[in-house]
Structure 1
């Protein structure tokens, strides 16, 4: 009954990398092993309960038989008091038979009790080991997930597509910088163009003022 349980314990206790080397998903396998262990415990509990029920039944039969032995003793005495020696003899014979049956039941009960105690001890061990495996499960899950994450990151860092993505990012960054430079240049050209236009307008305004000034001078001279 306990061979599978022992094998499951050995496998679950193995190092995580050994499971990975076997191309098995550690988390899935751990859950499966725990289910198998739990099934073993359930079977052991049923077997223990059955033996315990038999032990209780034997104990009840023993008590009933002992009561019957005492009853036959009293009945034999009453038969003698009534002058029924033959009936008293029959009561004593039945008492003897029942007493022998009690001895057999007691021996069987002791054997059954030993089996019950043995099954209870083994069941305690199984439950303790199952609990231990449950506690280890969380740790193994964390280690498995960490290993997968680490592997994924390492593959991403070493993969050629990652380098291509990095180069592509740098290329897009250069395009953005170029666009910004072009925008700045366009803005400078607009400012320069505006300044030139303003200077030309100012020049025209100054020419008109000079003409007006010369007109006034000519008028005074006249």
Structure 2
């Protein structure tokens, strides 16, 4: 393999190792949860803003409805004054017409406000649904992360144990025991050989003393035997 091929292989291996580190499932899950929480914060902020606009629209709706009713009542009161002779009929008609025109403007404002309220209510419902989904998703991911971390600790511990066990070469261990047994056998044989050599190197006196000792001949009995022999002469 050429030098460039070897460098390419090493570089590829380092790149794969870097990718493996980047693809740590725990870190990826934690980052995913952080991103979801950011999305949740944005959704909550948007929900609060839409609710605030809905509140203003409802307030405008109520004010416009109240204003329309007020202008209608004023127009009726003007006409009643004209009927009682308290106000010129033409003037009453003119003022009542203006009041009714204001009523129509207020009614138009109320209708627009009602449309805005309806639109905001729909937006609120959608945003609220999204917020609930995000909260549920975050809660599910956090629970899965706890399980993933627990599984990671167990698998890491198992990997360490398996690595230690895999490092134990049973064949080499048996070989070492056999060599030790052979060495002990050799040492025992050598001891026995030296014993045999020691026995062969004993003098004749050592052999006599050994035999006499085994026969249990006492010094007193040997002396008596010698005296008897002397008498016979």
Alignment-derived partner of residue 129 in structure 2: 121
Alignment-derived partner of residue 209 in structure 2: none
1:45 aligns with 2:44: yes
Alignment-derived partner of residue 28 in structure 1: 27
Which segments of 5 or more consecutive residues in structure 2 lack a partner in the other structure? 1-18, 82-86, 181-233
1:107 aligns with 2:130: no
Report matched runs for 1:77-92 at 5 Å. 77-80=76-79, 81=81, 82-83=87-88, 84-92=92-100
RMSD: 2.5
Distance apart, 1:77 and its partner CA: 1.9
Alignment-derived partner of residue 141 in structure 2: 133
Distance apart, 1:145 and its partner CA: 1.3
> Which string of whole-angstrom CA distances, capped at 9 and with x for unpartnered residues, describes residues 106-136 of structure 1?
1221111111111111211111111111111
1:155 aligns with 2:154: no
Report matched runs for 1:180-191 at 5 Å. none
Residues in 2 aligned to 1:55 and 1:142: alpha-carbon distance in whole angstroms: 46
Distance apart, 1:97 and its partner CA: 1.2
Alignment-derived partner of residue 58 in structure 2: 59
Equivalent pairs counted in the alignment come to: 146
Residues in 2 aligned to 1:148 and 1:128: alpha-carbon distance in whole angstroms: 30
TM-score where L is the length of structure 2: 0.57
- Greater gyration radius: 2
Alignment-derived partner of residue 73 in structure 2: 74
TM-score where L is the length of structure 1: 0.59
Which segments of 5 or more consecutive residues in structure 1 lack a partner in the other structure? 1-20, 175-222
Residues in 2 aligned to 1:116 and 1:22: alpha-carbon distance in whole angstroms: 42
Residues in 2 aligned to 1:74 and 1:139: alpha-carbon distance in whole angstroms: 69
